[in-house]
Structure 1
Amino acid sequence: MLLTTLEYFLFMATVLSLGSFSAAFSTRWPIKQAYLWEKEAHFALTLPFNKPPPEQMQNIRSCCKNCRQTLLWYDLTPLVSYLILKGKCRHCAYRISFHYPVIELLHLICCLPLLLTYENAYPLLLQTLLISALITAATIDRKHMLIPDECNIVILSCALLFHLSTRTLESSVIGMLMGYSLIYSLRWSYQRFRHKEGIGLGDAKLVAALSAWLGISYLAPLLLCASLMGILYTLAFNKSGTQHMAFGPFLIFSAMMVFYLTL
């Protein structure tokens, strides 16, 4: 796909903007959900709940966590602002988390190869949004062991729309149904015989979305690759088996490997 310099720049700017949104979402979503779950639990137990909503749920502009100074657009330019400011707040020199530039850079690394694959803007947009949602889900699951339904919805929607445009919707839908049924059955069986949860329902939804993206023919390689990576990680960092491990990042990394290796 031959692109002009301007088109490359616009695509990179779009991807970095998605990365910036992803970094903010992956920071704010867990805080918002924890508040809503706490509120719901109090209502279920008919207990008073007077805790104010966290700042992340309010429609306020981005500001420094330390000095509370409102950040302007030139302080929020993805990657560029972080490099210019040397990772510190312009006003108080408070250290900015690596979380933001890392997520933005990951978006750039993972999405740029798409330019070599798709000639039309429509599939390029769908795959870019899908990969952004994958990175967001992996980021949240790695730290909080939760996979947002919002991410799964974006992944699934983009996957189905893409396969609809390429007339391969049947493989996508079958993959979605088979992926969800398989993981849900494993989850049910483990709960039935071990009396505890071995795999979350979010993982079942994620496998369904990833199978819709890759198609039924790549469901087995996806699960095999993710399982092998999970085993290797356990052997290297969790030999005792006492530490709970998020499976979502392994599924997502495996899906992206399968996707790019089979293009």
Structure 2
Amino acid sequence: MTTLLCWLAYAAVLLCLGSFAALYSIRWPALNLYLARQEAHELLSLSFKEHSPKSYIYGRSNCPHCGHILSWKETIPLFSYAYLKGKCRFCQTNISPYYWQIEVLFLLAGLPLLCLPLSLYELALNTIILTSLLCAAIIDYQHKIIPNECSALVIAASLALNMGSPLLDASVLGLLSGYAIVATLRGCYLYYYKKEGIGLGDAKLLAALGAWLYLESLFSILLYASLLGIFCSLLFSSKGQQTIPFGPFLVFSSIVYFYCSYL
């Protein structure tokens, strides 16, 4: 009975984190685009009268169609969508399945952590790492940008995970090496082709993965991510679709590597 309650409680935590991530992945890009436009207007000494979008921390959720402020009963992860039958209670417009899809993704990616021999401290930090990585992958997939906040959170949690351990040096080395690998590749590509082939967001993400899984993991993660990226690029290009940025492949490969390391 106690084990079942632990699983249910942890599942609820993951669903709540997934719900926040879905909201964050919508509001963070909108807020950063607003700030970029504001800065551009200030540099050009132009007036700027746009209203600031809602913060991803503050501001209650509302229906994007009718503007109705949602009550707590309408924001329960997964269950509210099922209870409302996928429609707004006021305007009866279909609710995007995006929210429950992200919540389920977090649930599937995080629940296996309970099967690993982790202390409560390690479980909490690895949960932060996994959810931050998933959030970064979602935003990179949609907007081709990786939030510094996500990479920084992974780095902080990874260092905290190894604090006071002999593995702390390996974590720091993995962090520095991860950034150096991508920064070097970026510099070489820029030198020969006179254009950017990879962003510094990927460098920061790989640095975070190196801090989490250490230097020896980076080559495997890069190999798997590259092969997966090539396969998807060929698949999408044959269908005339736009290619996917590299971040999601790095995140997927690192999570698979992490779980496989316990087998």
| Partner in structure 1 of residue 17 of structure 2 | 18
RMSD, matched Cα: 1.9
| Partner in structure 2 of residue 123 of structure 1 | 122
AA partner of residue 15 (structure 2): L
| Partner in structure 1 of residue 204 of structure 2 | 205
Within-5 A mapping of 1:178-257: 178-239=177-238, 243=242, 245-257=244-256
Following superposition, the deviation at residue 167 of structure 1 comes to: 3.4
Structure 2 Cα separation of the partners of residues 203 and 150 of structure 1? 13
Q: Identity, % of aligned pairs?
A: 43
The 8 Å contact of residues 31 and 56 in structure 1, kept in 2 or not, is answered as no
Structure 2 Cα separation of the partners of residues 41 and 131 of structure 1? 35
The 8 Å contact of residues 174 and 212 in structure 1, kept in 2 or not, is answered as yes
AA partner of residue 154 (structure 1): L
| Partner in structure 2 of residue 9 of structure 1 | 8
Following superposition, the deviation at residue 225 of structure 1 comes to: 0.4
Deviations along 1:71-121, whole A, 9 cap, x unmatched? 111110001111111211122211111111011001110110000113421
TM-score, normalisation: structure 1: 0.94
Higher deviation after alignment, 16-25 or 116-125: 116-125
AA partner of residue 111 (structure 1): G
| Partner in structure 1 of residue 168 of structure 2 | 169
| Partner in structure 2 of residue 261 of structure 1 | 260
Structure 2 Cα separation of the partners of residues 189 and 153 of structure 1? 25
| Partner in structure 2 of residue 134 of structure 1 | 133
Q: 1:242 to 1:108 in 2, by over 3 A?
A: closer
* SS of the residue 2:163 aligns to: helix
Deviations along 1:13-71, whole A, 9 cap, x unmatched? 11111111111000100000000001111112222222221245794321111122111
Higher deviation after alignment, 197-206 or 48-57: 48-57
Q: 1:62 to 1:204 in 2, by over 3 A?
A: same
Deviations along 1:183-204, whole A, 9 cap, x unmatched? 0011011111111110011000
- Is there any run of 5+ residues in structure 2 with no aligned partner, and where? none
Structure 1 Cα separation of the partners of residues 54 and 160 of structure 2? 35
The 8 Å contact of residues 27 and 53 in structure 2, kept in 1 or not, is answered as no
The 8 Å contact of residues 179 and 207 in structure 1, kept in 2 or not, is answered as yes
What is the total number of aligned residue pairs between the two structures?
Answer: 262
| Partner in structure 2 of residue 85 of structure 1 | 84
The 8 Å contact of residues 118 and 124 in structure 1, kept in 2 or not, is answered as no
Q: 1:167 to 1:86 in 2, by over 3 A?
A: farther
Following superposition, the deviation at residue 241 of structure 1 comes to: 9.4
Higher deviation after alignment, 251-260 or 55-64: 55-64
Structure 1 Cα separation of the partners of residues 153 and 207 of structure 2? 12
Structure 2 Cα separation of the partners of residues 185 and 29 of structure 1? 29
Following superposition, the deviation at residue 154 of structure 1 comes to: 0.9
| Partner in structure 1 of residue 66 of structure 2 | 67
Structure 1 Cα separation of the partners of residues 83 and 164 of structure 2? 42
Structure 2 Cα separation of the partners of residues 98 and 106 of structure 1? 12
